[in-house]
Structure 1
Amino acid sequence: MQILFVPDPRLSYQGLARDNVRLPLRDDQVIRHFIRVSELIVQVMNRGERISQYGHVSVPAHEIVPLQEACAFLGTSLVSGLRDHDLCLCESGNKYKRCHGRGWSSVLGA
């Protein structure tokens, strides 16, 4: 997995949290899911008044834990080289796109 950070001089800091722009370098469902989960985590972390808070931010577990678990699973999948047509890492015997990929596509809208 490779991550590339590129500064955008058109953007400036306004005192509020701002999400990164994430773009896939190849068309793959696992990558799209990882990006979407990452975006959702930032949305949850910055919901309401939390957008202007710094340091430790208190977030209800039922909002963040499922997203963190999905992010961990997808991160492990990406590091292992999993593609959407490979067998899912959960060892179900199904391809990712027919296993976790199918379930998360409906939840994540990705």
Structure 2
Amino acid sequence: MSCALLFLTGIQGYFQFNIIKASHQQFALFSTIFYMFSETLIMFYFIGSGTAIKKEVSQSDIPAITYDKVKKTKMILFPHLTLNMLLVGIVFILGGAVETGSISGFIHGILYITTFFHFIYT
């Protein structure tokens, strides 16, 4: 869902059309909030499940290497999730800078494309 919303926001920014009577700025706000909320839930799911696995491993005869796999996965995943959340926030804020004429829409567009592909990669 986040992917579709972010994609629609980008297309809307390039072609300047309304979605359900929402301008690009309004729809970008909705998309960004939805994205941040869903990514935060995903991160907390991994934090909670990792804690539960760690507790179960420490209380049973399961080898400690099992939890090491979980830690390795989190070490790979979390930096990308955090960076992507930061990039989406920056793209949204720079959208306001484009509206005030502080930066070029081209720079905003390039950063959006980079951020979107990073999101797909993540």
Pick the TM interval, shorter chain.
0.3 to 0.5
TM-score by length of 2: 0.37
Larger radius of gyration: 2
**Highest relative contact order (Cα 8 Å, sep 6+), 1 or 2?**
1
Structure (1/2) with the larger helix percentage: 2
What TM-score results when the alignment is normalised by the length of structure 1? 0.40
